[in-house]
Each structure stands twice: as C-alpha cells, then as structure tokens.
Structure 1
C-alpha cells in the first residue's frame, strides 16, 4: 500500500498548481489579448521503445507464418474473458459440469492446431525410440538392410545417384534448420546484453520524470506573473482602454453631432464669401455696363435729334418713312443686362459678418476637446478601483504561493527517486544471475544443436567418403576402405538420429506449446490492443471491481480509467494528470473555480463610478450663433432677378446689324444733311461695338465676374432654402448627444466597464485553461511508464519469445527431416559399405562354370573366356569368403539351391565375383 499512497501524493502534488487557479474562474467572455505563457520546460526521455530485428526478422516472419498456419483463428477475446471469469480452479474442480465441458471444448477447438501438432510431436517422441529399437533388432537378424549381401540391379547407379541427391538435399535442409536455431540462440544472448541499456534508459527516464516535475510545477506557478503584468498594464491604462471604449461608443452619436455643427461654421464662411463675391462682382458688372449704356444713350439721343430734320416732317415724302423706321429701332439701342437695377446684398453681408464675430469653430473644437478628455476623466475617477484590484493581485499571488506549499511534492518525488534508485540497484544485482541463467540456457541450446550437428557431420562425412571412395569398377565385396567408411558413417548418423531425435522432438514440442501459445495469446493481442480490451473487461479481476486500476489505486472501481486509456495517454506522452484521470479523484472543478477571484474583481469594479456630466459639447454661445445665422435674411435676396440678368447678353441688339441697317436706310434718302448724319451715327455705332462691346465680351474680368456671381447666387439660394432646417437638425443632434452623455451615459459606461472587467478576468481564465492544458499534455508526461510496458513487451516478445520460437522452429524443421535422412542413409549406405556376399549371374545356360575377366561394366564378364565349367549350367551362384575355403551357393533358374565348397585360392580364377545380370522379365 505504500506505493499506492506515494503515487496518490505524487498526483496530488502535480495538480496543486491547477487546483488553486481554478478558484479564480470567470464567466465566459473572450479576453481581448491572448497571453503567451511560453513553453513548459520538458525533459528529454532517452528510451526508444522500438525494436528492429534486422536480418533475423526474416526468420521471425517465417516462424510467425508457420504459427498462423497452425493457429489461424483470431484472438478469442470472449473465450479468454469467460475463462478468466470462471477461474481455472473452479474449472479443474468442477470439470464435469456441462458448462465447463463446453468451455473446455471451445478451448480445444481454438487450440486445435497446437493440439494436433503437439500430438504428432508426442507420437514422434514416443514411437521413434521404439522404431529405433526394433530397427536395431531387425538388423541384428540380418533384416532391414542388416544382411551384408548386395543384390545387383541394372539401375544401381541411377538409384545410388538419386539417393545421394535426396540425402544431400535433406542434409542441407537440416543444416539450414540448425543454422536458424543457432542464429536464434545467438540473437537471444546478444539481445539480452542490450536489455541492460533499455532497462537503464527506462530508469533514467523515471529519474528525469521525477526531477523535471517540480520545475514544471514551479514554471506553471511562475507564469502567474504574466497574468499579473497584463492586468497591471490594463489597470495603468484604464483611461485608454476603458475610457477609450466609452468614448468610442458615445462617439457614435457625439462625433456626427459635432461634425455637423462644425460644418455649419464652414457654411457660414462660405456664405460670407458668396455674399462678398456678389457684392464685388455686381460692382464690376455695373461699372462695365454703365459706360456702354452712357455711350449708347448718347448715340440714341443724337440720332433722335438728327431725325428731327424737316425732311422727316413731310409725311408724303419717302424720307418720312425712313425716319419713322429708324425712330422705331432707337429703343433697342441699349444694354441688355442692366446690373444697376439689381439690389445689393450689403445688409445680409453685414449680418453674416456680425454672426461670424462669434468663433463657432472654437466653440465646437472646445466641445471636441471636452469629449476627448473622457479617458482622462475615467482614469481620474477609477484611481481607487485600480489600486484595489492591484492589491487583490498581490493577495492572489500570495495565496498561490502558500497553496503550493501545502502539498509535499518534493518529498514525495524524493521518495520516488529513492525507490527508483533502489530498484535499479536490485536489478543490477540480478544481472549476474541473468547472465548465468542465460549461459546455462545457451549451453542447453547449443547442446541440442550439437546433437543435430553431430548427425550432420556423419551425413556429410559419409557422403564425402562414399562419393570420393566409390569405384564403380569394384565389386561390393572388394570396395575400398574410404567407401566402406562412408557407409559406416552414414549408419552412425542413423544411429545417432535414433538416439537424439526423440529427445529433440520432446524439447521442441514443449517449447512449441509454450512459445506458440504465448505468441498467439499475449504478444499478438498486445500489438493489436486486444489484450487491453480483455484486461479492461468490467469485473474481470474481482467481481466487486468494475475497473481494477482505479480500484487498487484510488479505491474507486467505478472510475472511468482503463488499461487501454492509461497506456494510450502515456504512449502519446500526455501528463499523468490526464492519464490517471485525476480530475475525478481530487474534484478539480472545486479547486479551479474561477468564480472566487471573479467575485473579488467584480466587487472592486462595482465601486467604479464614471460621471461624464462635465462634458459640454456645444456651449450656449455656439447655439445662439447658429440661431443668429438663420436670421441673416439671406432668403430675402432676389435670386431670380440676379439669375435673370445673368442670362442676358451685353446689348439688346446686334450693333453691327443696327449700323448696317442704318446705312441702308440712309442710302434711301436724298443726299443731304440727314443722310450724312445717319451714316456718321452708323460709324459711331460700329466704333462703340469695336471699342467697347467686343473688349467687354472678351474680358476675363467680365466673364469671371458673371461666373462668380452665378455660382454665388446659386450657393446662396441653396443655403437659404434649407438653412433653418439644417440648423434645427444640428441643434437637435447636439442636444441629443449632450443628453446621452449627461443622462444616459451610465448604460454605456456599465456595458464597457463589464467588458473591461471580463478582459481582466479573461486573463485569469486563460491562465487556468493553459494550466489545464499543460497538466494534461506537458507536465509530468508519463511516456516513461508506457516505455516500461513497451520494454517488457520487447524483452518478452521480441527478444525472448521470438528468438525461442525461432529456435524451436529451426530445430523442429531439422528434427522432422531426420526421418527421411534415416531412410535415405540406410538405403545409401548399402552402396558404399563392403559386402560379405554378392549376387553372381551366368548368361550361358549350357556351361556350368567358366573363367571370367573384368568387363567394362565393373563386373566380371564370363563371355571373355572360352572355357565352360562342367558343373554350372544355367545356374547362378553367390559366394562369400571363409577361412581357407569359399562357400558357393548354386541357385538354379527354378529356385533350387546347391551348396559347394571350393578352395579359397581358386575363387578369383575359377569363380568370378559377379556375372552379367540374369535375363529376367522385369529387367
């Protein structure tokens, strides 16, 4: 229970920084500024829980493929759970129960491949010694190939070659199996040496975990300074932040109102300029047209005097008609636009100048200045609140510091480090024992391999001696020592095969059952996470515990903490706080409730009172100035008369046309004084046109004056038309804005104050969220614990189990092929060993015996001799050497036998070792 208590204190210490901060929770509201808390200092874990077998992985894959063929069924998750729940003891004691019998049958059905292979292995182990015993007894009785007599066949060479090839192939397969087993054995020993590095790295990572955790917690606590600095910055700039927001919100109404008031000042200035332009241009136009009018009036009066001539008095004379026509055109000899008749605008101009004596722009700018002082007013009026919040920050920091001291994090981690050191020391102490056990294991495995290697040595040496020493020209009874030794070595291999193969198969069967089932029931399910699902089955370990991990650690079996989730979180290098789901154990929500701090901050801001009634947007003088502007009588100007005169030309009649008509009329008169006077006046009119009208029309001053007058009149007309309405709207907008500031600004102030307060509280919320995320993802990351599990899997499955399974896989392949090796060796040894007797055949039926010489086929051929034996007629014989004599067994074609004894010295000359093959139907 001590380790449980230590782990709980460790988890409590890891969460201490988070517990205190959640007390400062705030209502949801986005912070205006995203805080940067930096990165939590993280230790570097050195363990790489990954194994790459390298070239031997090919053998591992072959072994896995074989196991898949033996056991292709998927992992029996339901069956394993059922077996685990029913308990093996109950199954053994109550095996006769029907449900237990069914369960047993299900297990057998799932493991049918292993059962069949194990049965075959046991059958091999039991029968092979018996077969070897009977085989030895059989050979002792000159049976089963034990008779040292070789019957010759025509296909003997082909058969010997086939047997040699098959035995050689079988031997190579056995050799490959032994090499596979040897490689697996060596791989296990070499990988056990790297086990120390893995274990050392795991323990070192645990030290790193324990050492870095306090610094990580200290870093979390220290980042409260970031929150404090941002809050202090916002408090020091409360005028800019809060007052600016209030000003911005109120400015939506105040700014347009003051802008329209300022635009009225611009209208006043433009009106004054327009009136001045009208006054000046009117004088200019009156001056220009006045001289022309005087000259035209003089010409018109002179013409009128000339037409008083007596010639015009005679009504009956043609001259009277001419005079009458000329007199009718005299009124048209005048200017068209009479600017002198237009009224001046001096009175309106004087009134406007009077209005402009009051500087409306200065008054409006003063209102702008007063409104722009809102941040300063807010800062001055909230000074006490700012100081109160600043003091609250210091209290919160002190609470955080004091809170972390309540939990023995350092002492707990110190004890944890001591435990790791002690564990490491214990592991170091058992390394010599592991090495010794591995040495014994290595010796045992090498011994098993050497059994097969001994058999292989006899096979290879036997084949080598047999192939090199075999002479096809030598009879079986006279084979050389090398060939005979090869056959004996092959038979020695057969003997050792019978001696060792059953031992090998017994060991292989045991290793196969253990290693194969562990691979299929432990290693493969671990890689697919199915094993975790089995372990996470509710009420599996104990019927009273739904989940055994929280049941053992926290005495809360109903807690949602499973092996799979714990391993997955640690595998993803998440914090132990997240992995162990400690929030439900320590009621983190209560400790991380930000409402405590938010209430304190809110209480401080409730004391904030912002009064903006001191802001005056437009003084009374400015308002009166606007009213006076509407009373300048601009609307009384006769805009239509001005516009009408501006439409007219310089003169009412074309002076050139008038002068031409005057000349024409004069030509109708009799030469005299009147005619001369008329022509003179026509020239005068032309002179006036050329000297006054044309320069006046082309004068820029005249044109500009007309244009300026036109523009000014039209501007004044527009201004006068909506001036009262505009002024009324400006005054209404200013009054509404002023009313908003003086009476209704409280709502805006409260809204913006709440936003500002939420910004301050939002910093705390960001801090809490960052701590939660850091605790889940970065603080006390439990990768070392998943690495320990992965290391156990690597050591148990990749190092030990894969190597052991590959060992029995290779050795089993060699052992199985010892069976064909035995058969082939027995058959092939007959062709290499020296025989005691041999078959001899005669192809001449009428001659009983004759002298023979060695033929091309390696046997003695009787056809080379011309002497026939008086005894042998269509007979065959077989002979064997005895001491001093030769036993000759004569066999007739019908099967009868006769025994003859002849001297030994006569054997080689009178009785050859072999004859040509008999003429049998099957040849």
Structure 2
C-alpha cells in the first residue's frame, strides 16, 4: 500500500505542475465560460486586426501545460476584468452575472495552486522516508511479504501506475522538445514580424503623404476648372452688359418720347386756352364794332359807313370742340414719367461701371494654377524624416548584433528545451528500466533484504528516477508559485520592459518631434512603447499605434473634408447686385459661375416699359397743325 500510495503521489506530483500552469492560464471566454488559452511561448507582436488567440481543450493543455513558463498572463489578467463599481452597487446581481470570473479568480486558480503546492510539499517528505528505507536495505524490515495471489493486483497496479507515469513523462519529453523548437521559432517570428510591421507602417505612412499629394493635384485641377468657368462667366457678363446697355438706350429713348408727348399734351392745352381767348377777343371786337356802327358818330360819318368791315371774314373756322379731351391721357402719362426709368437706368450703369471697367480693361486677373511648391516642400520634409526613421529601425532590426542576440536566444532556448527534455527522458527511462529490472530479478520467495543484484539495480533506478522527479517537480512548483504571484518570467523580463514608456525615451525624439519646426507637420501623439505593449494585452499593432487619434477616425473623410474646404469663390469680389438687377437667379457676382446666362430673360428689365400706357395723340396733333395753319394764314392775329 505504501508503494501504491507513493505511485499515486508521484503521478499527482506530475499533474500538479500541469494543473497549476493550466489553471494560471484560465480566462473568461466571450460566452462567459472558462477557457484555457493555447501555448504562447513568446510574446509576439501582431499586426493583424483579425487576430484571435486559438483556444484548446483542457486535456490538450496537459501535454504542454507544465512548460508554459514564459507565456504572459497571471491572476491579475482575470481580476482586472472585475468591475469594482458595479460590484459595490449590487454585489449579488454582479456575482450572478459574472460568476465565471469570480470562480476563475477566487476558486479555480487558488484551489489548483494550493493543491499543487501541497503535493509539492508532501512528495518530498514521503520520498525522503522511502529513500532512507531503500538505501538502508530496511524497506519492509525483517517482515516477510505476504505472497498470496490476492496481493498480485497491488503489484500490477503499482507497475501500471509507474508505466503510466513513465509514458506521461515521455509525452512531456516530446512536448518540451517541440516546445523548445516552437520557442526558438517564435523568437525568429517575432523579429521578422517586427521588421514586417515596420515596413508596413512605412508603406502606410507613405500612402498618407501620397494621398495629400493627390489632394494637391486634385486642387490644382479644380483651380484650372474654376479659371475656365470664370473666363466663360466673363464672356457672359460682357454679353449681359451689352444687353443692359441696349436696354438703357431703349429706356432713355422711351422716357424722352414720353416727355415729348407730355409736352405736346401741354401744348394742346395751351392752344385750347388760346383758342378760347381768341374767340372771346373776337366776340368783344365784334360787339364793339357793331356798337360803333350803330353809334351816332358813325351814322353821321360817311367814311365810317363805307369802311366795309365784315366780321364774318375774320371768324375762326376751326372748331376745337371736336378735339379730344387730352386730360384723360395726362394722368397715366404722369404715372409713367414718375417711375423715372431714365434715373434707374443711369443708376444701373453707374453700379455696373466697376464691373464693366474690370472686364473691358482686362484687369481681372485669374490664377493659372495652384502653387504647390510650399506644400510639397513641407510634405517631402516630413516624409523624408519618417522614411529615415523607419530605415533606421529596419537597420537596427537587421543589425548583426540583433542577429547575434536572436541566435543566442535561439541557442539558449533550444539548449534549455533539450536539457529539460533530457531530464524528463532520463526520469522516464529510469522508471521503465527500474520496473523491468525489478520484475526480471525478483523472485517470489525472496525477502526484500535478500533480493538479487538485478532486482536491487531496478529498485535503485526507481529511487534515482524519483529523486530526479522530486527535483524537477520542486523547481516546477517554485516557478508556478512565482508565476502565480508575480507573473511569468517572459512577461516580467521582456514584455513589461518593452511596454514601459521610459524604455524608448531615446527613440521618442527620432519618431516624434518634441520641438516641431514651424510649418512642418509633426506626429506627437504616437507612442512606440504603446505599440509594444501589445505583448501584454494582445492588442493589434495598428490599434496600439493610435493612428486614429493622430489622423482622425477616417483619413479618407478628413481628406475629403479638406478637399471640400478649398474655396475658390474668393477669387471673385463679392459685388452684390441684388439692389440693381432684378434677377431671382443671381444675388451676387460670386454666383455668376453657376448661372446659365443663355437661359436668362432680359425682357424682365423692360417689362414695365413694354407694358406702359400708349397715348394716341394723332388726332390732337392734326387739329393743332390745322389750327396753326389757319391762324398763321389770317392777318387777324396781327391786327388783333
């Protein structure tokens, strides 16, 4: 029973380190269940956004669990997922919703660790007693062993457990050897990944500057198109000015005609008034003449009687009663004249005079292209600095010293795995050979103190195998305790220094200007150390670089916004013509480039003129002319 118990303890001691290391890698999965991460012998730098660590089952980790000594991860990785504020607000609900986290952090990991630690303490004590008894040839003392057949299953049980332990150790030997090769391969992969990431980041940065160059070229083309549109607009403006000048002449002519008509109407009124005065004068003259003829003096004067004056010969033949009443035409004509179209036309020409002078004198200068020299100088300066930095990083990665260090790490990793595999292989061989020699050299009737040399050699091999097992298990237990309390060696001595910002203080000024040159773009928000912290939290490299914080959430969106922000309307003076031109299509000259002048209806400028009242004075003019001829042809006017 002692040997059977010892075998169980040996097997438990072997599983102890596996369980300890496996439990230390327990994490909470996406579905809230406990998962065990895959073997990660080296903290790798990942540039793929879609990277997801592979998961493996519990039994798959048994073969490689005890060599997970350099994989980053510890109890704090699980504990940091606990939301302390939510736990304080409602502990019961939070425990129910996040039971897996608490089970992992406060039950699974401590239980497995304590169990392994107990086994690590019990096995040395029991092993020491067994060794003392074996070495002193007192194992069993003078007591005779019970040789009945019903105890045979105990021996075969012991043999079976020893063989199982030996086989598991053999599997562990192969796992250690393969793990060592994986470790050395991971070192090379990490270096190559860093180099590839450096090249990818260089290409990405160059593409950003290429995008800005494309923006400049696009802006230049946009300027040329704007110049062509403005030139076309200038031709349309000249046509517009010609049409406005024609309209102005029509307005002045019509206004003058209206004034002439108004003067004619006034003349008609004057003639009517004169005609009435003339009639009154003739009536008075006739009355006086008749009175004179009837007077006594004229009756006694023969000469007076013989004068032969006939008033009918001087009667006005023109009847102005037939002349139309022009007073009805005067009111609409006065309304038309009150519009002062000539004044409006003069104001229009005075307002358009600056534009007319600009286009007629050819002083409207347009840029032929967008000056990109200054912008190209800035971008090329920044691009050269970035390229130099990435080239220096690439040279540093490919430096022979780095290759030597990588080679040494690879050699040490391979040598370490070989030594570890050899140790486990020796333990496994001692167990197997001890069982074989013990069974061959054992005789059923021999007492423990009377065994033959072959049987004793087999027993010594078992003891020696146990001693090596004890040393191996003890070292693994100490490493497991260190791993549980302080984190893995790889994380402490490799990942944490790389994640420390102070590590790269010397490189920081090379990549990010602390005192940027005026006018030169600088990228001060990128942290190289933050990128290298990905070995601690497995973040993708692009997220660690925080490029979104430097260039915005979307570089294409920013470039499009910058492209839309190029305002060419400042090339045209914003002369407001809203008070002068009654165009609904245009409010200022800045919008002329968007107007189709061929579609404009210039008749809008003369609508009031075309719809003005038409005064027909032909009858009045004819009557005035006839009256004038009649008055002039008679001497009575002079006589009167």
Q: Same fold (TM over 0.5)?
A: no
Structure 2 length normalisation: TM-score? 0.45
Of structures 1 and 2, the one scoring higher in RCO (CA 8 A, sep 6+) is 1
Larger-Rg structure: 1
